[in-house]
Each structure stands twice: as structure tokens, then as C-alpha cells.
Structure 1
Amino acid sequence: MLKTMFKHVNIFTILSIVIGIILLMPLANILFELFTPPTPVWEHIKTYLLFEYISNSIYLVLMTVTLAIMIGLSAAYVIGRYQFKGRKTLSWLLVLPLAIPSYIAGYIYADMTSFTGSLTRLIFNQPLDIMNLFGASLIFAFTLYPYIYLLVLSSLSKQSASYGESAILLGSNKYQVFFKVTLPLLRPALVAGSLLVILETLNDYGLVQYFNVRVFSFAIFNAWFSLGDVVSAIRISAYLMLTVFIIIVIERLLRGRKKFHVHVKSKSMTRKKVSKTQSFIMILFLLLILMIGFFIPVIQMLWYTYLTYQDTIQLSLLLTSLNSIINGVIASILIVLIALLIANFNRLKNRNIVSKSWVKIVNLGYAIPGAVIAIAVHLYFVGLDRALVPIYRLFNPNSPTLLITMSLFTLIFSYVLRFLSIGFNSIESQYEKLGEKYTESAYMLGTSKLQTLFKIDIPLIYPGMITAFILAFIDILKELPLTLILRPANYDSLATLVYVYVQNEMIQEAAVPSLLLIMIAGLFIYLVTHYKKGVFSHVYKDS
């Protein structure tokens, strides 16, 4: 057995295990911290506040997912099933709300619906109160629905027309075909998209903090920074992790052993041509989604920018933008490189239950909210710094104690831990399309593992690597909880600068960094959707 195990040990195996252990050590450390004796603050939270945190988190997730499914499914169905003028342009425009972080959309809409807000003056006779649980779920739904939209649109493009035609021949009407044939086949895409929406909702801090919605992420920050109790923050993090784990387990149980297959040679679905009236209604519906999710906040931010640009466009803003870009580039490159190593560790003939399980564990970071990862990484590096103080003092007697903890290394490390699965999934999917024949042929001809990687694999899978870089960069650019907790002193990114402005009730001044963040994210979203037609290759096919 040992011979079999060591037979497949190679450079990818060794590096994947070593890197995985390094990344997972902070998460393992936080589990040991749970055994720390509880404090009076924790007893107070457990008695009076914990139920509110749990119930609010559940309500927020359920409302957000329900609304996001309604928006994403309907938009994807209109784009995927009907042929009308402007469909191709609208297909990728509907992804743009992903460029707006939920907290920025929340800040803008809260200001627009306040007593002196522009929306209040234009439409309503009195202010509309959206700073509550339902208002937060609406903001989340209109900024996160693209996760569901993209997956459902891709699934619709792969569905065979023969299923629906057979159902009609058996006497079903179009509504029965949708609910009994189309919708069940979309279930994997709906579940996967909903899971992403749930994880992003639970990860948010900026929006729920501003709206005073008392959910888990709010509770973690409140326990740590307001009450000064790290032990309570850790215990709340454990409850949040348990909630995420339960959601994932429920999804697995609902899926069971069901498998969904698409016949390669099946008849592709033809989009139905509609009348001018129907086309007008569909375009109006899709534009309404776009207006709420993207254009209204952006237009309002442009107006705020006009009012405040003389005070906000300064050299410090340029430096902050460079901070965000440089951090994103460095972390994204590391994510792609590590994901490439792990993907090679988990392919070809050395795949087994151990390697598959290890890959899943290493890629666990995206399922863990940013606030939890921030606590885990911070506590781990504080302990490491304290252990290394004698070494620091050998080189510099005046060396600070928290040398690593207060550096950018900690922030970059946390980004890699949190977003590694994004890079891995993009590269792994590209490897699956490629197959194993080219790599195995190179090995048979005596080429080494690294030579094969650089000369065969990378030239063939580079589109997946580019996609992995772009997706990781977008998420890192928008990430607030991690950056807010782990950034060095006097160090800002665009996300934290927006947060600081808003905390000082300077909503209008927050518009310039918000627009910069959205422009950069929007540019990268355009690249990923149009790079060799990107995720919309099926949309651009004429039919």
C-alpha cells in the first residue's frame, strides 16, 4: 500500500500538500481557540442576542435567495429562449450588477430614499424606509442575481429541444413543459447559483452594518471591535460556520445521487421569435432589472462625483487605487499559480479519495465568510509573531512585535485562502475540457512534470488561467471585511475608503472611489464575458 502511495508522489503532490497545510493552519488554530473559557460578554450574547443573530441571518438569506432566483431565472429564460433585437447586448449587460458591491448599492439607495434624497423628491411624498431586513435583501438580490443568471443561462443553452417537444406531443401545454421539464433540468444551476448568493450574503458586512441588520457578520465585528472580546467573536464565527456547513449539507442531501446528463448529439433549442409588442415588453423588463441593479446607482454616483470631485480627486485617491490594483494583481497571480499546482495534483491516474478530499479541504476558503477568515488569520499570525520575537530582536533590537501581522503579507495570505477555489474551479474546468491524452503522451515520451506543465498544459489551458485571474481579481477588489480587519495601519483600498467615507456620513464624497471600483470591476467583467466570447459563446450563436 505504501508503495502505491509513494508511486504517485511528485513535485505537484509535495507542493500541494505543503501549501495546503500552510493555508489551513489559521483555520485549524481557530478551532483550538473555541476551547478558551467563555467570557461574561459571551454569556450576555448567548442569552440575549444570539437568537436574533441566527433568525435575522436565516430570514435575510431566504428572502435574498428567493428574490435573486426570481430575477435571475426570469432574465436568463427571456435571454435564452426568445429572439429579439438587442438580446445579445442585454445578455452581457445583465452581468454588470456584479461590478457594484452590495454595500455601495446599499449606501446609494439609502441616501436616495432619505428625507432629502433624490428618489424621495422625485417619486414619493414621504421617505421610503429601506434600511431594514427586507430592504437589505432587495439590495442583495439585485446585485447578486447574476450568479444565478449566468449559471441558468448556460444550462438553458445546453438543454435539448427534444425534451420539450416530447412533452408537447404527450399533451402538455407550455406552462406544464416549463414547470415539469425545463425547471427540473435547471435545478443544478439554480442550486449552485443560490449557494453562491447565500455565501456572498453571509460574507457581507458593509451593507448590514449600515442598515443595522443584526446578522452574524455584524455580530462578529461588534463583539470584537465594540465590546473588545475576541473570544466572543470566535464563538459567533463558529455559529456562522455551522450555519454555512448546514446549508451545504442540505444542498448535498437534496441532490442525493441524482445526476444530470446532456446528450452531446441532442437537438439544440431554437429561440422563439416574438412580435414587436412582446419584444418591447421583454426589453422593458430586462432594462428595469438593469436600472435598479446598475444604472440608477451609477447615475446617482456620477451626480455626486460632479458635486464633490474637487475635494475628493487627489493624489491620495490615486495611491489608494494603486493599493487595490497591486494587492489584487499579486493575490490573483498567487491564486492562479497555487490553483495550477493543486489541479495537477488532482488529475491523471493518481486521483483517489485522499487527493480529492484534500483538494476539497484546501478549497474550503470561499465557503467561509471573510470576517471568520480574518479572525483566524489575525490570531494565527499574532501567535506566530510572538513566537518569533527573539529572532526579530537578533536582527533589530527595536523590531516591533507584530512584524508579520501588521504587514501586507497577512492581507495577501487571507485573499489567497478565501478566493483560491475561484481560481481552482476555472483551471480545473479547463483541464476537464482538455482531457488527459496530451499530458500522458508527454509523460510517455520522457518529459518531466514541470516541462510538461510549461510546454504542454499551460499553452492549452491559458484561457482558464486568464479567467481565474480575472474572477479572483474582481472579488479581491470588492472584498471589504477581510481588508477592513487585516489592512496595515494607515493603509486603504478603494473598498475601505468608501467604508470610511460612509461611516463619517460623507455619502457624496464616497462616490468617486465607488465609481473607480465599479469601473475597474466592470472592465474586468467585460473582459471575462467577451474574451473569445467568454461565458456568452452560446448567446452569440445565431439561431
Structure 2
Amino acid sequence: MKRRINHDGPLFSLFALIAGLAIIVPLLFILRHLFEPSTDAWRHIRQIWLLAYIRNTSVMIFWTAFGTALIGTYAAVLTTRYTFFGVRVLSWMLVLPLAVPAYIAGYVYADMLSYTGTVTRFLRLVSLPQLLQPMTMAGAVFIFVFTLYPYVYLFVRAALKRQSAAYAESALTLGVGPFRAFFLVVLPLLRPALIGGVFLVVLETLNDYGLVAYFNIRVFSFAIFNAWFSFGEVVTAIRLSAVLLIMVFVILVLERVLRGHRRYTVHVKGRVIAARPLRGLARVVHPFCLWLILGFGFLFPTMQLMHYAVLTWRNTLNMTLFYNFMNTLTIALGSTALIVVIALMLANFGRFRPKGWKRAWLKATTLGYAIPGAVIAIAVNLFFITVDRQLYPLYRWLNPASPVLVLSMSLGMLVFAYILRFMAIGYNSIEAGYDKLGETFTEAAYTLNHRKLSTLLKIDVPLLKSSLFAAAVIVFIDVVKELPLTLILRPANYDTLASRIYEYASDEMIQDTGVASLILIMMSALLIYALSGPKKRGRSAHVRPY
């Protein structure tokens, strides 16, 4: 009789329990404070500003989603279905805008298009009017589109590379033209990938604070920070967070409805569509458009930052910047290591067809990425303050002169928030690796009575090196770029590159952001190249958020 193998080791179950509680308990603190008495500030916002926040946030995410879907799909189709000069270089370089945080691009474009900016001075030199106003809703959408489209590009490109040629060829055989075949056959098959990429774009847009604050766009992230820092209104900030969470929940439900339970592929190994060369004027126009997209998202801001760095490096390249860099590097490496380890435990816990409570619990542990950073920051802050108050007798027993707030003033709170927010990225990258790996090797080790942890370290980890590397790279980049969590939860006198750049911009010292911004962007760009460059074709930058 076949012996039943117990896949759930106690260590993996314990990690899953702790990770789930870590995301659920802080959010419960928001619910607990939600029913406190209303304040004058909340009544004022509800009567005058709340509808404006909802309208502005909805408009911003709609046009950003539309623009990224259009540009990301266009770039993916051109780089997978056609050949032209430079296509191999462009295919990975089009991911580089992910290295440029939207707030840095916003600072740069606002300065370039100001009265004394580079673009405006050039237009005056050639006697042309400057009609562009970047610090508007349209300007913010423009920047979001060109810095976030790689999410859609990566998802759609991966789907196109797996798509069989039989579908389009069948349509052409039935007399459908190439243009109609794309919209009637190819595009519907791309629907899950397209929705997945757009969903990530929407979440990143909702999470942004640096750009919307600098452009003074009244959306929810701006309102939450304003209530928390400017007015000291905890109840108002919590209620705004609750409204934003409702919007996120609606988006989650909409994403599930749009994806549905349909299948868009068949489980056969079909021949992929062969890329064909562009002809005529298209050989010039389409590559030019792709380089222009890359220029708006990466090349133009980076070149302008190089100009700033040349002007200001004598004043900004100092020990303070070195400390900011070391803070960024150490906290990003530490947070990334913790996230990857916990995600590996979670993925191992849920890899053998989780059902019922196990599947629901794993969904809860990866919910953090869907929650904007400002909301997570408030939840974590309230949670740690409550924990500190409960532990205060212990603090006094250990040190009679101990302050009340110990954990709340430490770096641990910020690291905890990073883990909460970015766990989904690490988990889903590793889960994708497990899907490719299968269960055969692990089952064989369990059959030979190997322990669960020993099997994980000696068999799974070596086979998952590419997935672990991808998870670490993407988590590291997101932690380095993260601004809302860092601004709210960092200890006193603790600055990262992101917070230093924000402070320079807040003081209207845009040119002084040059060196710090270049360091941040180059760190991210080098890791993106290591992950998706031409020498790493075996590794995928595809991340499944949900």
C-alpha cells in the first residue's frame, strides 16, 4: 500500500501562521480606530474634499492604466513579432524605466519645463512658445505612463512568446486580414497578461506620494500624508485610508471579474509565430517610436540628472551622501534577505495544491502589495505603538530610564513594513519557480525520509537559484525606490537615498538631486540588466502579483 506523505512540516506551518498574522493584525488596528468619534477635520474633508479625492484618484489610475496598456502592448508586439535593427538591445532596454522612480522623473521634467529649464530655454532660442505645463494631472499621468509601462510590456511580451502560431494562422486561412486577426484573435488571448500588468500599474500609481505631492494633485495618498503630518489627525488619516482600501478592494474584484475563470491557451506545444522583418517606412518609424518611449521613460531623465550631477557634485558628493547610500544598501539587503527567506518558506508550505483555509491564508500573506504604502505605514505605526505600550513594564524592568516608545523608534518597524508590503513579490517569483520545478524531486526526497528543512536546503534551493535571484533583485529594487513607507516610518535622523532626494525636491533644490538620483537609478538599472539583459535569457523578470 502506498504510504501517505505529510507535506506540511511544522516549521513551514509556523512561518505561514506568523506571516499571515503580520499582515492581518496591523490592518485590524485601522478597523479599531475607524469607529472613533469624528473630528472637525474629517467632517470638513468629507463635505468638501472627499469626492474630489475619489474623482482625481479614479481619473489618474484610469488614464495611467490606458496609457501603459497601449504603450506596453505596442512595444511587446514590435519586439516579439518583428525584426529590425537594434531589436535585441531594445527588447531588454525597454525595461529600464522601472529603474526610474516616478517621483524622480517628476522632479526632472518639472525642472526641464520650468521657465529656466533646459527645454524652455531651447524653445526660446528657436523662437517657439512653451505650451507644456507638467505640474498638472496630465503631466502626472504622462510620467506614470512612461515609468510604469514596463509592467505591461513584460507581461504581454512573455505571453506573446508562448503563444502558438496556430491561432493567427487559422484566422488568416479563414480570410481575416492581419490587422483584424490581431484584434480578434491575438489580443483576446493576451487578456490575462494585459490585465495582470495593468493591475500592477494601478497599484503602483495608488502607492505614489512623491510625484503627486510635488505636483500638488489631490489624491488619496496626498490626503493621508497631509492629514497625518500637517494636521496630526490620526482619525482622519485612518478614515481616508479606509476609503482608499475600499477602492483597492473594488479594483481587486474588478480584476478577478475581468480575468474570470476562462482559459485562453491549450495545453499543447505549438509552434510560436516567427518574427518577420519590418519593411518600407515602418523600418524607421516603429524603431524611432520605441526609442522615443525609452527616451521619455529613462534616457531623457537620466541625461538631465547627469547634467545636474556635473553642476552640483562638489556640494553633494560628501559623507552625508555616503551615509545615505550605506543606509539604503544595508536596509535593502537586510529586508530583501528576510523577504526571500520567508517567501521561500511560504511557497514551500503552499506548493502541494493548497485548498480551503491554506489557500485563503496564503492569499492573506501576499495581500500587502495591493495596499498602498501610506495605509501600511499608518497600520504598522499604530500596531508598534500599541506593542510598545504593552511592553513598557518590561522596558522599565530592564532599564528604569527607558522611554515608552522603543520598537516604534527603531529601524525594525521600517523593515517590518517593507516585509509586509513586498512579500507578494518574493512569494510569487518563488512560486513560479516551484511551478516549473514540479514535485518529483521533493516527493522523492520525502519518500527517502529526508527531513523537510533538509530537502528544502539541499534540493529545492539549488534548483530554484534563478527564481530566488529574480525575487531578490525585484524586491531589492522596490525597497530602494520606496518612498511613502520610508518617509513615515524611518527613525529620527535616518535618511535613505529616496528620502534625501525627496527633501532636496521639497526645498526646491532640484539640481542637488542629481548625484543621489543617479546612484539610485544606476543601482536599479544594473540589477535589471543582470535579470533581463541579453546574457540572462534563462531568467525571467515576470512577477505574478496574485
| TM superposition score category, shorter chain reference | over 0.9
CA contact (8 A) 2:136 2:215 kept: yes
1:275 Cα shift? 2.9
Match of 1:330 in 2: 334
Measure the CA separation in 2 of the matches of 1:431 and 1:201.
Answer: 30
1:116 Cα shift? 1.0
Residue 191 of structure 1: SS of its match in structure 2? helix
1:535 Cα shift? 4.8
1:10 Cα shift? 2.7
CA contact (8 A) 1:371 1:482 kept: yes
TM-score, normalised with respect to structure 1: 0.96
1:19 Cα shift? 3.1
Q: Give the aligned residue type for 1:183.
A: L
1:441-500 deviation per Cα after TM superposition (whole angstroms, max 9, x unaligned): 110111110111111111111211111111000000000000000000011000000000
Alignment of 1:509-528 (within 5 A): 509-528=512-531
Change (3 A) 1:117 1:8: closer
Change (3 A) 1:45 1:291: same
Match of 2:344 in 1: 340
Alignment of 1:487 with 2:485, yes or no, is: no
1:67 Cα shift? 1.0
Alignment of 1:109-128 (within 5 A): 109-123=109-123, 124-126=128-130, 128=132
Which shifted more, 23-32 or 363-372? Answer: 23-32
Match of 1:389 in 2: 392
Which of 248, 252, 267 is equivalent to 1:248? 252
Structure 1's unaligned 5+ residue stretches are: 539-543
Alignment of 1:93-492 (within 5 A): 93-123=93-123, 124-126=128-130, 128-275=132-279, 277-348=281-352, 351-492=354-495
CA contact (8 A) 1:164 1:177 kept: yes
Q: Give the aligned residue type for 2:13.
A: T
Tell me how many residue pairs correspond in the alignment: 534
CA contact (8 A) 1:113 1:127 kept: no
Q: Give the aligned residue type for 2:117.
A: G
Residue 510 of structure 2: SS of its match in structure 1? coil
Which of 509, 517, 520 is equivalent to 1:506? 509
1:175 Cα shift? 1.2
Measure the CA separation in 1 of the matches of 2:247 and 2:108.
Answer: 30
1:127 Cα shift? 5.4
CA contact (8 A) 1:158 1:262 kept: no
Measure the CA separation in 2 of the matches of 1:478 and 1:73.
Answer: 25
1:402 Cα shift? 1.0
Measure the CA separation in 2 of the matches of 1:65 and 1:87.
Answer: 25
Residue 407 of structure 2: SS of its match in structure 1? coil
Measure the CA separation in 1 of the matches of 2:392 and 2:10.
Answer: 36
Measure the CA separation in 2 of the matches of 1:343 and 1:259.
Answer: 24
1:353 Cα shift? 1.5
1:409-459 deviation per Cα after TM superposition (whole angstroms, max 9, x unaligned): 000000000000000001000001010011011101111101111111111
1:7 Cα shift? 9.0
Residue 509 of structure 1: SS of its match in structure 2? helix
Which shifted more, 432-441 or 529-538? Answer: 529-538
Match of 1:46 in 2: 46
1:22 Cα shift? 3.2
Moved over 6 A (4+): none
1:84 Cα shift? 1.3
TM-score, normalised with respect to structure 2: 0.95
Measure the CA separation in 1 of the matches of 2:210 and 2:405.
Answer: 27
Q: Give the aligned residue type for 2:284.
A: F
Measure the CA separation in 2 of the matches of 1:306 and 1:257.
Answer: 54
CA contact (8 A) 2:154 2:541 kept: no
CA contact (8 A) 2:381 2:408 kept: yes
Match of 1:541 in 2: none
Which of 530, 536, 539 is equivalent to 1:532? 536
Q: CA RMSD in A?
A: 1.7
CA contact (8 A) 1:114 1:128 kept: no
